[in-house]
Amino acid sequence: MSKRLEVKIGKLTLKNPVMTASGTAGYGAELSEFFDLSRLGAIVLKGISLKPWPGNPPPRIIETPSGMINAIGLQNVGLKAFIDEKLPFIKKFDVPVIANVLGTTVGEYAKLASRLDEAGVDGIELNVSCPNVKKGGIAFGLDLKAFYKLIRKVRGCVKQAILIVKLSPGAPDICEFSRAAEDEGADAISLINTIPAMEIDISCRKPSIKNVIGGLSGPAIMPIALRMVFQASRAVKIPVIGMGGIRAGEDAVKFLLAGATAVAVGTAIFVNPRAPINVIEGIEDYLKRFNVEKVSDLIGGLQL
Amino acid sequence: MSSPSLFKAKVIKNARLNVEHFILSVRPEGIMPAAQPGQFFMLGIPGRLDPLLKRPFGYFRVKEDALEFLYRLRGKATAIMSVLDAGDEVEIIGPLGEPYPLPKPKKVPLLVAGGTGIASLYPLADAFGGEALILYGGRNSDELLLTEELRGICRVLGLATEDGSVGVKGTVIDLLKEFLAGKNKNRHVVYACGPRGMLKAVSELGLEGYVSVEERMACGIGVCLGCAVKTSTGHKRACKEGPVFRIGEVVFE
């Protein structure tokens, strides 16, 4: 296969820069009915915690103009069931597997990371930006001191896998947090997670989702994501994985030009499960149309 | 069961039954998907940003090489759907979800429909080859659709309207209670589809059978976990473990 689309994240070489965004691809089984998962640059799986989590009570989602708000609350099978039941399936594909983890304490993150590293995942994405869980998670993504401490500890536990830190769009200074992740040895940062948001049903004067506040995703947030990826990528030397509203090759190219090394497709998968493939093909079309030799030539290629 | 696919389809016609109700007929590119009663499809207009997500519609029927969807005007998405014209393109994912299980031998299928819940029960009645009993309720006569066709595919059709314009005055639950009065409940297997309140009421009558729930969905294929339903054994996905659940499984609040 042509190496035209190849990019590198830490020691990991991706055959193309397109991943799934955590929480939009489950653990792979459902999407595999729609396309060959081996075509992805990497698959980022649904976030997992130490113990199974039931998630938030329904209703959990509401559509808003060009986007949606969700408060799933990290419903997941827990670390043990993930390693025993979910990981073997996805490892059958020729695709780097990135596990997304969320803990309520530094110790939980560390345990998750070291167990998954031993279990042979290719990457670990630290979720310090989920707006929908009560404890932990986003608290680490908004407090710089706690953030430093967390990444230092987890870095020490991860030997084989690459370590990615997923940043919150609510971070007081995205550049500062990006540099902190880099300083503590993260191989990459990913952004943005969903943006805290809400919707109201005026017929019953109630919030549209039970959790009241959820995370906004989809094309509605793309300009914000693009701006933050642009800022973050200028603050660090490690690769940035950009996401937020990407649904076509053109969108991905914008993120690459803004400074992302790779991109993730999220909400667009809900609309069309083959969206990541459309994005890969759209990037290829762009390279041909504009006579660009390889995708890595686009990274940070924005002309100011 | 056939696995779901993603396909484009061309609108053949979009027939208005009355003020709020329509039947959209589409011809899929490629082969006609083999859906079973109780399953559903996600339907949307490709490339649109608002509404962005597809919407779930119960499998209604295949007629004259067209896949048909029975729907009611409810919001932005169905309003846009209602102005689709012959030749327009839609994008569909399906068939999705678990179908209605068949009844045990000697049990009589009793179908309980509220409003557009009839869309998913219509093919089930058809599959029972005239053996099913149907109780069907709506707020008014406009909400009782295709009653003549239904009469042709079932043994008994009982109707109820809240305004009393057609059939018994009251809800389909009133009709169901009246129907069951003095009868042996165990002879029937109930299949219910309709508003949440109706499904809750059906579930409280101590009957054997199934309910088909309707939940907001983002993906319909089991990855977003947005359509979680509270059940006696934890959250389940309406799109994957459902939309059909055994009576007693769903915890209605």
Q: How far is B250 from chain A (nearest CA, A)?
A: 13
pLDDT tens digits for B37-54?
Answer: 999 999 999 999 999 999
Judged on CB neighbours under 10 Å (0-12, 13-18, 19+), A206 is exposed
Among partner residues B6, B44, B50, which is closest to A274 by beta-carbon distance?
Answer: B6
Query: Contact B228/A218, CB-based, under 8 Å?
Result: no
Task: Give me the total of CB pairs closer than 8 Å, taking one residue from chain A and one from chain B.
Answer: 98
Active site residue A204: no
Q: How far is A235 from chain B (nearest CA, A)?
A: 32
Query: Contact B235/A54, CB-based, under 8 Å?
Result: yes
Q: What is the pLDDT of residue A134?
A: 60
Q: What is the pLDDT of residue B156?
A: 94
ipTM: 0.95
Which of the residues A37, A202, A271 would you substitute to probe the B interface, choosing the one with the greatest number of B C-beta atoms within 10 Å? A271
CB of B213 within 8 Å of a chain A CB? The answer is no
Domain B5-96 shares a fold with domain B108-246? no
- Omega before B28 cis (within 30°)? no
Segment 25-64 of chain B within 8 Å of chain A by CB = 44, 46, 49-54
Query: Contact B50/A66, CB-based, under 8 Å?
Result: yes
Among partner residues A24, A61, A68, which is closest to B223 by beta-carbon distance?
Answer: A24
**Residue A132 confidence (pLDDT) above 80:** no
Q: What is the pLDDT of residue B105?
A: 81
Instruction: Give the residue on A whose Cα is nearest the Cα of B56.
Output: A271
* Contact between residue A27 and residue A100 where contact means Cβ atoms under 8 Å apart: no
Q: Which helix (H) or strand (E) holds A63?
A: strand A61-64
Query: Contact A31/B223, CB-based, under 8 Å?
Result: yes
Partners of A264 on chain B (C-beta within 8 Å) are none
How large is the average pLDDT for residues B206-220?
96
Integer CA distances (angstroms), B85 to A148, B71, B78, B94, B134, in order: 58, 15, 13, 22, 32
**Residue A137 confidence (pLDDT) above 70:** no
Helix, strand, coil percent content, chain A, rounded in steps of 5: 35, 20, 45
**Residue B133 confidence (pLDDT) above 60:** yes
Among partner residues A30, A218, A273, which is closest to B6 by beta-carbon distance?
Answer: A273
Instruction: Classify A302 as helix, strand or coil.
Output: coil
Partners of B79 on chain A (C-beta within 8 Å) are none
Q: Which helix (H) or strand (E) holds A14?
A: strand A12-14
How many other CB atoms are there within 10 angstroms of residue A200's CB atom? 12
| Nearest C-alpha neighbor of B84 from the set B180, B12, B30 | B12
Instruction: Classify B200 as helix, strand or coil.
Output: helix
User: What domains are there in chain A, each with its CATH number?
Assistant: 7-61+72-197+217-297 (3.20.20.70)
How large is the average pLDDT for residues B184-194?
94
| Nearest C-alpha neighbor of A98 from the set A20, A18, A177 | A20
Instruction: Give the residue on B whose Cα is nearest the Cα of A270.
Output: B219
DSSP states of A179-219: HHHHHTT-SEEEE--PEEE--EETTTTEESSTTS-EEEESG
Q: What is the pLDDT of residue B245?
A: 98
Of residues A21 and A136, more confidence is placed in A21
Query: Contact A61/B226, CB-based, under 8 Å?
Result: yes
Query: Contact A58/B234, CB-based, under 8 Å?
Result: no
Nearest-angstrom CA–CA distance, A24 and A245:
12
How large is the average pLDDT for residues A30-44?
98
Q: Where are the beta strands (DSSP E) in A95-204?
A: 97-101, 123-127, 162-166, 188-191, 195-197, 200-201
Instruction: Give the residue on A whose Cα is nearest the Cα of B240.
Output: A30
Question: For the domain B108-246, what is the CATH code?
Answer: 3.40.50.80
B253 pLDDT tier (thresholds 50, 70, 90): confident
Mean of the per-residue pLDDT values for chain A? 95
Q: Where are the beta strands (DSSP E) in chain B?
A: 5-16, 21-28, 40-44, 55-58, 61-63, 66-72, 89-96, 108-114, 133-138, 156-161, 168-169, 188-193, 209-212, 228-231, 234-237, 244-246
Distance of CA B39 to the CA centre of its chain: 8
Partners of A61 on chain B (C-beta within 8 Å) are 216-218, 224, 226-227
Q: What is the pLDDT of residue A143?
A: 87
Q: How far is B234 from chain A (nearest CA, A)?
A: 7
Segment 84-103 of chain B within 8 Å of chain A by CB = 91, 93
How large is the average pLDDT for residues A87-105?
96
Q: Encoding tokens for residue B168?
A: 């018994």
Among partner residues B6, B50, B215, which is closest to A34 by beta-carbon distance?
Answer: B6
Query: Contact A60/B225, CB-based, under 8 Å?
Result: yes
Q: Tell me which amino acid residue A207 is.
A: P
For domain B5-96, the CATH architecture is: Beta Barrel (2.40)
- Domains of chain B, by residue range, sit at 5-96, 108-246
Q: Tell me which amino acid residue A252 is.
A: A
pLDDT tens digits for A239-284?
Answer: 999 999 999 999 999 999 999 999 999 999 999 999 999 999 999 9
Q: How far is B154 from chain A (nearest CA, A)?
A: 36
Q: What is the pLDDT of residue B84?
A: 96
